[in-house]
């Protein structure tokens, strides 16, 4: 709908995906916008000549490999203004899609009021594809719509144009005096997404979570998970090599405490598989390497 409206008011750009029919909303929105365009013609605006992949103010970086692999990296501010009401404790989290299917997924929001334990879970660090230290969230919650301390994130590398490998690296200070630093690489030739987590600082208890999309079936064997799903009736698969230094378990649809859920929209949740690795970090620098390798 937004693309169709943009096409109607401003005209499409060459790098846009195919614009679907906007339905009744497109002419209504276009009618509201056009009065601000002189002589009913498109406004003169600065428009990117190629598809952007790094949004510095938002801290969002998109890494693309072959046309089917898409990876979103989160290195942005914790939230809007000091209370960051709708923020989640998800610094350095990633999402990965293959041909439009969520493989590593953001579990969503589910609820705002009335179910505090679910609200707390869906906004927690453990509910995202990132690393948790000492069982705590990266940022400190003061209530369902309040955060009293924000993790500060810094993007170190955002190389989205690499011919063979696209790279991103960022760190945050939410676990002072420790620093969590994450590197992500999307390797086109190997069809791999490589994630390396480093903990810089004193010994801490580590939990590393990977939340799979609801369409993904996982077979966990030690530190290796075989992932399968279908796309347009065609079988697809990938292998997720997990850090050997951690002990891995699969969770699905657990309620006490909540773990292994996906919410596609407000008031909706469904079981999904979450892989959680538990262990410790040594004093100094400790690294954990994960590789998601797509088959075929």
Reference 237, options 155, 292, 156; nearest CA is: 292
Chain segment 124-162, per-residue pLDDT in tens: 999 999 999 999 999 988 887 888 888 999 999 999 987
Residue 267 DSSP one-character state = T
Q: What is the pLDDT of residue 163?
A: 76
Return the minimum-mean-pLDDT range out of 15-29, 88-102, 108-122, 148-162. Answer: 15-29
What span, in angstroms and rounded, lies between the C-alpha atoms of 273 and 218?
7
Helices (H), the chain: 2-10, 25-33, 116-122
On whether the CB atoms of residues 187 and 196 are closer than 8 A, the answer is: no
- What is the pLDDT averaged over residues 111-131? 93
In three-state form (DSSP H/G/I as H, E/B as E, the rest C), the secondary structure along 3-51 is HHHHHHHHCCCCCCCCCCCCCCHHHHHHHHHHHHCHHHCCCCCCCCCCC
Q: Say what the pLDDT of residue 22 is.
A: 61
Q: What pTM did the predictor assign?
A: 0.89
Q: Is residue 296 helix, strand or coil? A: coil
Which residue, chain included where needed, has tokens 């969770």?
251
- Percentage above 90 pLDDT, the chain: 62
Instruction: Please compute the mean of the pLDDT values over residues 28-38 and round it to a whole number.
Output: 71
Q: Which of 73, 175, 82 is nearest to 128 (CA)?
A: 73
| Nearest residue to 274 (alpha-carbon basis) of 251, 290, 249, 240 | 251
Q: How confident is the model at residue 38 (pLDDT cuts 50, 70, 90)?
A: very low
User: Does the bond joining 95 to the residue before it have cis omega, within 30 degrees of 0?
Assistant: no
- Residues across the chain: 296
82 contact partners, CB below 8 Å, separation of at least 6: none
**pLDDT at residue 82, as a whole number:** 76
The domain defined by 54-294 folds into Beta-galactosidase; Chain A, domain 5 (2.70.98)
pLDDT at 171 over 50: yes
pLDDT digits (tens, 9 = 90+) for 219-257: 999 999 999 999 999 999 999 999 999 999 999 999 999
Domain ranges of the chain: 2-40, 54-294
pLDDT (0 to 100) of residue 36: 61
> SS in 3 state form for 64-98?
ECCCCEEEEEECCCCCCCCCCCCCCCCCCCEEEEE
Q: Which two tokens stand for residue 195?
A: 């994630």
- pLDDT band of residue 41 (cuts 50, 70, 90) is low
How many other C-beta atoms can be found within 10 angstroms of the C-beta atom of residue 37? 15
């Amino acid at each position: 709908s937004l693309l169709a409206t943009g096409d109607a008011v401003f005209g499409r750009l060459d790098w846009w995906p195919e614009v679907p029919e906007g339905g009744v909303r497109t002419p209504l929105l276009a009618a509201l916008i056009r009065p601000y365009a002189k002589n009913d013609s498109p406004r003169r605006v600065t428009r990117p000549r190629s598809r952007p992949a790094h949004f510095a103010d938002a801290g969002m970086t998109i890494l693309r490999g072959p046309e089917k692999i898409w990876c979103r990296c989160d290195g942005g501010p914790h939230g809007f203004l000091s209370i960051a009401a709708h923020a989640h404790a998800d610094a350095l989290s990633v999402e990965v899609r293959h041909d439009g299917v969520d493989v590593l997924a953001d579990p969503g929001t589910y609820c705002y009021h009335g179910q505090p334990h679910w609200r707390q879970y869906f906004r927690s660090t453990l509910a995202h594809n990132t690393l948790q230290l000492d069982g705590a969230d990266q940022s400190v919650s003061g209530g369902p719509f309040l955060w009293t301390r924000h993790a500060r994130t810094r993007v170190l590398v955002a190389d989205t144009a690499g011919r063979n490998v696209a790279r991103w690296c960022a760190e945050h200070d939410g676990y002072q005096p420790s620093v969590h630093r994450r590197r992500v690489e999307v390797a086109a030739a190997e069809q791999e997404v490589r994630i390396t987590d480093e903990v810089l600082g004193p010994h801490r208890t580590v939990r590393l979570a990977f939340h799979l999309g609801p369409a993904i079936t996982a077979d966990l064997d030690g530190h290796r998970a075989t992932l399968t799903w279908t796309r347009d009736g065609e079988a697809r698969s990938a292998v997720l090599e997990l850090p050997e230094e951690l002990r891995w378990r699969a969770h699905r649809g657990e309620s006490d405490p909540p773990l292994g859920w996906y919410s596609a929209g407000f008031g909706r949740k469904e079981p999904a598989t979450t892989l959680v690795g538990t262990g410790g970090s040594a004093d100094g620098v400790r690294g954990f390497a994960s590789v998601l390798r797509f088959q075929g």
